[in-house]
Structure 1
């Protein structure tokens, strides 16, 4: 049966314009409209206001309401199957049913009832010829040669569609509410030069880089944000380089929307066109209490999502908006500071905090609470302050006051109030020199008083000079909380409770005054480094926040003593659990540990403002907490690298067994050196024992390909990385699994981990994957790479020398270890394998 004749489009337009009844019935399937076209809601009421559709009718251009019960009409592009408005023209000025949209050679113009234009496309020097709606949801204005003169994708509202970009400096603006109105609200997604951030009234409350699945590839300035079904990508280098990426797992195909909703939450939703179902695959921030107005003003947001008034405030049923008001009825919020000179400050509990404190520097440091409040009293826009008692830091809340969240106890909040009926006071106590009151006293008494006053003033000037010097030191932005040495000594029982030691110092367990458990590290290896240099490095480390990195809670610089205070990890280091613990880690938890450590390293390498090479990746520096939390410690204490410095850093530090070959040559140390160390750790996670280990006579038969030696107790000493290489070649992966997991792991699961580990330990650093790609391979979103056997041959010589050194160690120096020396450019790779040297373990490891 033949296809019915197609009704010519120009006849459709003529019938529409001259028909006595302008209403059009039936489905809309016209993807393009020429100029001199007019549409209104009444004209297309039978089609819900739709007058234009994409080729497959996935998207429609409509004049419609955002909700059936709403009488406010908008010109929008809508995704039909999911009923999602992807773009709107007049979101801040709705229209009525008779208002018209006109397409002319000058462009699109939307009029209100009074035929006044309320929205239009920018003027073009070239006349518009037609309007076209693509299957991507992009509305185009084209000239006679089909060049794009304007497109809706260039003017996004609160949502991005798969394939859409958002240029740097542009933003998505959330709607003001969920009542059917599309007007702009207070939340924005803004693309900056180095990150994408969420803002509330201009104040940052979340960054894309804070998401645990986001990784930075380069430090180039951002050109635009690109969104597709696989994730969010910040692009630089004229759009050719990925600066930062947030991969969305399990969503490589199909349509997706990234929307900033009226509550301030950025959500990515995938849509299945087959079963017409939606699935939320990402949101930020993950901690809803970080959103400024997740609750009402001065409500406290708890982790469960409930809201309650802050201490000293309550809900008044007579208040329609439900905001919290002071419990003390004599206090009210000041309407302005022009009519008041005597303010009161209502204190909040010290376990409360405010979202902006994490994203702004204090307005001043090294002051007391009185001066902090005085600064707020003099600022008409100041609504309250947060004050850090330990550090003397003053944070000011201005213009807008949102809800509160749980804090760490380091800052105390104060809300600015004024007493009802209290007269203004022009005289206030001000800090300064003591007032001298003239009284009639005997001359001897007057002389004694004068001496006392002079002594006090001298001490005061001395303290002031010391304070100025201290302020000069602590004026470095980004410093974490400063903790007194006496408090740390008391917290650690005078540094008696030692829980570990490493290349940078000794670690003690302690309990701070607020009851929180911490790990206190005494730094012993910074040599003659001055206080300012120390504080500058600590400021950089203090800004690093990632779920897989141990959080730096504070620091202490007390004379020559330099201490760092970290969160305490109750399960200790990986080596204790993996090699010494009574409980055997199951395969799933080992995979989670491997992934968590990889994410932490990837963030250090590419997610920080300054690239950080760890330089000592080993199980002792991978810490475990409850609920399988994995965090890397001791990062940032090695040299911090700028891009210019990264090729020049050759300081030898690390731990034998995990050092990359380039450590023993003049080759530059890069982030690929950490990748090698991670690969060695990954092999130990697979085996559940050290890479250099022993096996009993009964279980050694299968190890014949691996160079080994026997000790007097009948144990065979094995170099496990070489065994992993041999079993990979043979495809016998189950031989490599921890024997305690026998029968619990499938071969392909082990193969994945072994292949990743072997790729990480390639002799050539350029062949090693980045830690970001390691994360992708572990997650399954990046294809596995096949190990290069030629770049792994050095493991055979490592294994042979390990066996030889094991034999020699019985009668020679036990502190020496045979290590491979990488060939120079003038020697062949094959010949160089016989060139080894003895290197002291202290030389290799650095301070231990």
Structure 2
């Protein structure tokens, strides 16, 4: 906090409209403080310093001659701006920064606020600058209510986390954009860190030469130190997920280190030695400068690490587009994305495609999937013509893969020659030379002699005929296409951004040996293992039970899953629509589904891996419920839909039964009955609303099976050696019993005998408190009242220890006693029918005790509940 005896005197000086001389050494300021550049001009605008003077908070300009001023935090020795508040809205030298109990506010010359810290529920007491470079606001009890580290600009200092969903934004650069935001970003996602230009990826940390993955937790944040870039996640943010080790040795303790994204799109990690005042660059990415989207200008070709020249067919015109490359053919112009360059999206008569040289490529092609495969180049171009955001295409002849360049067009680079590039252009005129050489042109003298109305009529008729001819030709091209489309609606569908690759049916038949290699079955279809022509292993789900809602379910799965990427969700790699055949192509998980490893696996799953599986599945569901743009309810959570890969990777699959809810729908009823017996929440069978808490119930049932190593709904033999457990309301004798495991879990919880519930194959390898955590979480998840169930986010927190365990509410678990009694009756039926072929139906009632009334239709078969599987 600095020197308390000096603070009142310092505060008086800082509050006055005086010019302070001498170095600033005050690490904190109290509220009701005002600063401007003019007030602190003798200190270069600095009014606050860290304890050792390494950092200063200033109102300053980035260049001495500039009239644009910014509120910044600067590293003094290296003159590096580590954070800026108003980078997009510069102020003048007389503009004011005010600190009040509401926070910090920056005003322009007219007295209007142009930047402020977010509103806080607690009044601000003081402003501090830490020796780490973090600017913080504290309340009266010294709790942080805001910090600059949570709002990074274009730089990260060593130790500063860049959390998932946050990004560094490079400055625009140049005299007019000293600090203002440009088009380059470093973005941290839930499984990687990427460099983007206007939303297009041009570098990934995971694809860097010295990056490797230590574990498979979801990423929580990126952090930098003098040895590498680290993506962290799991175990309270202390587990390394991926890292990049620098080529140089670690810097010494006197160094100031930071990662910065500069205006050129380069990510650099720099170490500054505070003793000899020298900088050392530890890392610069991308390695290949030609991979940067605008290392040159639009349609320039980058070679030899930064030499730029216009692509063949283009020339540099200093008078046009700031010197960008423009077509040599003056009758052609480059269209802007989705403007009115042509009159209609369906009018192709004035769209042309200029072929680039075969050895040229585009930066984004290596980081995106093609929009469609197994088509010809004409079809690829036609898709681009119908999409106003498309500015060009690249086409791979060998696989028929079509890549689109959307919205922005950058520079080109030398490529491998595997892809042919075509730039979209609009014909706006005819060159004079073409008119002179056109023997069939209408005589000029005839145009002069004919009345203007006749000329106009002839022109209109000619234009109509030309458009009809063009449309007929385009229709024929679509008809001749290899793909089996139902109509224009599906042509538009495959061009929707974010969709996975459309794969030819013949390739999938070849990959799966004509669909003979079956590895499982699930909702709406059968799953086959396959190997695509590129050598990648996939799981192909053949939709075989399409009813009246089949196509809707199929399109929903495509639209939702194709855009979702999470470390605990199975990725949809592609799809196929071949007449009535509908297929989904997923990444292949080598260990198969959880039920195989849990119920049949040898060797037995150890407790630690079971915990990792439980957390991974919970993370996946939490992302579906709260991490997506729209809430997604899975509706069929069960061990068969939890897949395992090598190194304990856990991923949730099968979104065929999912429901995408808009905010308006989330408050309504979702009444379609779906799911699998044994995992359906009670509200499925009543008139109650279906919500994400229905998934929580199913997850709780899965968690109980993970604990026991057997199915809840399968009759199991359990030996009660203590003589204290009462298994059913009818009072069976002590000894060997066929039990309903969720009821047993409730009873053992009441008696605090948790080790009785663990998989007997793990005797001696699991401790009571470890089982207790899982049991308590599971019981909370299966509360009969959905409002009492925790969110999946809280489930993750409880399993990881970040959130305190909640005590299960016994009054909302009494329904398990009735389920257990019905289970016992069903398991002893003389006709051999197994208990798991029945699902209990309960009428809604306000009575929460076990003595309630039930509908006479107490049993529903699995076919009635789940439909065809």
TMscore range, shorter length: 0.5 to 0.7
Cα distance change, pair 78–133 in 1 and its aligned pair in 2 (3 A): farther
Give runs of aligned pairs for residues 117-196 of structure 1, distance below 5 A.
121-125=107-111, 134-135=127-128, 157-158=153-154, 173-175=169-171, 183=179, 186-187=182-183
- Is residue 506 of structure 1 aligned with residue 526 of structure 2? yes
Shift in Å at residue 594 of structure 1? 0.8
Give the alignment partner of residue 22 of structure 2, picking from 24, 28, 32. Answer: 24
Residue 797 of structure 2 corresponds to which residue in structure 1? 776
User: SS at the partner of 1:515?
Assistant: coil
Asked if the contact 1:369/1:387 (under 8 Å) is kept, the reply is yes
- Is residue 601 of structure 1 aligned with residue 587 of structure 2? no
Residue 405 of structure 2 corresponds to which residue in structure 1? 396
Give runs of aligned pairs for residues 537-556 of structure 1, distance below 5 A.
537-556=557-576
Cα distance change, pair 728–388 in 1 and its aligned pair in 2 (3 A): farther
Give the alignment partner of residue 806 of structure 1, picking from 827, 851, 854. Answer: 827
CA distance in structure 2 between the aligned counterparts of 1:337 and 1:26, rounded to whole angstroms: 54
User: SS at the partner of 1:745?
Assistant: coil
Asked if the contact 1:60/1:78 (under 8 Å) is kept, the reply is yes
CA distance in structure 1 between the aligned counterparts of 2:670 and 2:544, rounded to whole angstroms: 21
Give the alignment partner of residue 490 of structure 2, picking from 457, 473, 487. Answer: 473
Cα distance change, pair 764–138 in 1 and its aligned pair in 2 (3 A): same
- Is residue 569 of structure 1 aligned with residue 589 of structure 2? yes
Can you list the C-alpha shifts for 1:113-165, whole angstroms capped at 9, x where unaligned? xxxxxxx95124599xxxx981267699xxxxxxxxxx99999854799xx9x
CA distance in structure 2 between the aligned counterparts of 1:696 and 1:23, rounded to whole angstroms: 85
Asked if the contact 1:687/1:737 (under 8 Å) is kept, the reply is yes
Residue 631 of structure 2 corresponds to which residue in structure 1? 611
Shift in Å at residue 474 of structure 1? 2.9
CA distance in structure 1 between the aligned counterparts of 2:813 and 2:258, rounded to whole angstroms: 44
Q: TM-score, normalised by structure 1?
A: 0.64
Can you list the C-alpha shifts for 1:669-716, whole angstroms capped at 9, x where unaligned? 2221111111011111112222245556767666842239999xx963
Shift in Å at residue 768 of structure 1? 0.9
- Is residue 762 of structure 1 aligned with residue 783 of structure 2? yes
Cα distance change, pair 294–405 in 1 and its aligned pair in 2 (3 A): farther
User: SS at the partner of 1:598?
Assistant: helix
CA distance in structure 2 between the aligned counterparts of 1:28 and 1:416, rounded to whole angstroms: 59
Residue 789 of structure 1 corresponds to which residue in structure 2? 810
CA distance in structure 2 between the aligned counterparts of 1:556 and 1:93, rounded to whole angstroms: 49
Residue 219 of structure 1 corresponds to which residue in structure 2? none
- Is residue 386 of structure 1 aligned with residue 375 of structure 2? no
- Is residue 323 of structure 1 aligned with residue 306 of structure 2? yes
**Higher mean displacement: 374-383 or 789-798:** 374-383
Give the alignment partner of residue 297 of structure 1, picking from 290, 303, 311. Answer: 290
Asked if the contact 2:715/2:738 (under 8 Å) is kept, the reply is yes
The alignment yields a C-alpha RMSD, in angstroms, of 6.1
User: SS at the partner of 2:672?
Assistant: coil
Cα distance change, pair 60–717 in 1 and its aligned pair in 2 (3 A): same
Cα distance change, pair 103–728 in 1 and its aligned pair in 2 (3 A): same
Cα distance change, pair 585–50 in 1 and its aligned pair in 2 (3 A): same
Shift in Å at residue 524 of structure 1? 2.0
Shift in Å at residue 368 of structure 1? 3.5
CA distance in structure 1 between the aligned counterparts of 2:475 and 2:601, rounded to whole angstroms: 58
Shift in Å at residue 108 of structure 1? 7.2
Residue 672 of structure 1 corresponds to which residue in structure 2? 693
Cα distance change, pair 375–557 in 1 and its aligned pair in 2 (3 A): closer
Q: Is there any run of 5+ residues in structure 1 with no aligned partner, and where? A: 95-100, 110-119, 141-150, 192-196, 216-226, 230-245, 252-256, 268-287, 301-312, 317-321, 418-423, 428-456
Residue 328 of structure 2 corresponds to which residue in structure 1? 339
Q: TM-score, normalised by structure 2?
A: 0.63
CA distance in structure 2 between the aligned counterparts of 1:87 and 1:459, rounded to whole angstroms: 57
Residue 489 of structure 1 corresponds to which residue in structure 2? 509
Asked if the contact 2:678/2:839 (under 8 Å) is kept, the reply is no
Residue 516 of structure 1 corresponds to which residue in structure 2? 536
Asked if the contact 1:352/1:413 (under 8 Å) is kept, the reply is no
Asked if the contact 1:820/1:833 (under 8 Å) is kept, the reply is no
Asked if the contact 1:346/1:416 (under 8 Å) is kept, the reply is no
Aligned residues: 676
CA distance in structure 1 between the aligned counterparts of 2:376 and 2:813, rounded to whole angstroms: 61
Give runs of aligned pairs for residues 205-284 of structure 1, distance below 5 A.
205=201, 213=218, 249=236, 261-262=261-262
Cα distance change, pair 700–213 in 1 and its aligned pair in 2 (3 A): same
Cα distance change, pair 673–391 in 1 and its aligned pair in 2 (3 A): farther
Cα distance change, pair 718–337 in 1 and its aligned pair in 2 (3 A): same
Cα distance change, pair 698–199 in 1 and its aligned pair in 2 (3 A): closer
Cα distance change, pair 827–497 in 1 and its aligned pair in 2 (3 A): same
CA distance in structure 2 between the aligned counterparts of 1:266 and 1:800, rounded to whole angstroms: 64
User: SS at the partner of 2:358?
Assistant: strand
Shift in Å at residue 597 of structure 1? 0.9
Residue 213 of structure 2 corresponds to which residue in structure 1? none
Give the alignment partner of residue 753 of structure 2, picking from 732, 735, 752. Answer: 732
**Higher mean displacement: 511-520 or 392-401:** 392-401
Cα distance change, pair 629–415 in 1 and its aligned pair in 2 (3 A): farther
Shift in Å at residue 199 of structure 1? 7.9
Shift in Å at residue 603 of structure 1? 2.0
Cα distance change, pair 426–58 in 1 and its aligned pair in 2 (3 A): same
Asked if the contact 1:820/1:835 (under 8 Å) is kept, the reply is no
CA distance in structure 1 between the aligned counterparts of 2:723 and 2:751, rounded to whole angstroms: 12
Cα distance change, pair 139–492 in 1 and its aligned pair in 2 (3 A): closer
Residue 437 of structure 1 corresponds to which residue in structure 2? none
User: SS at the partner of 1:337?
Assistant: strand
Cα distance change, pair 53–627 in 1 and its aligned pair in 2 (3 A): same
- Is residue 369 of structure 1 aligned with residue 377 of structure 2? yes
Residue 582 of structure 1 corresponds to which residue in structure 2? 602
Residue 441 of structure 1 corresponds to which residue in structure 2? none
Residue 276 of structure 2 corresponds to which residue in structure 1? none
Q: Is there any run of 5+ residues in structure 2 with no aligned partner, and where? A: 99-105, 114-124, 138-146, 188-192, 207-215, 224-232, 239-256, 269-282, 294-300, 317-324, 333-353, 425-430, 435-470
Give the alignment partner of residue 737 of structure 2, picking from 713, 716, 724. Answer: 716
Shift in Å at residue 634 of structure 1? 1.0
Shift in Å at residue 613 of structure 1? 2.0
CA distance in structure 2 between the aligned counterparts of 1:139 and 1:663, rounded to whole angstroms: 49
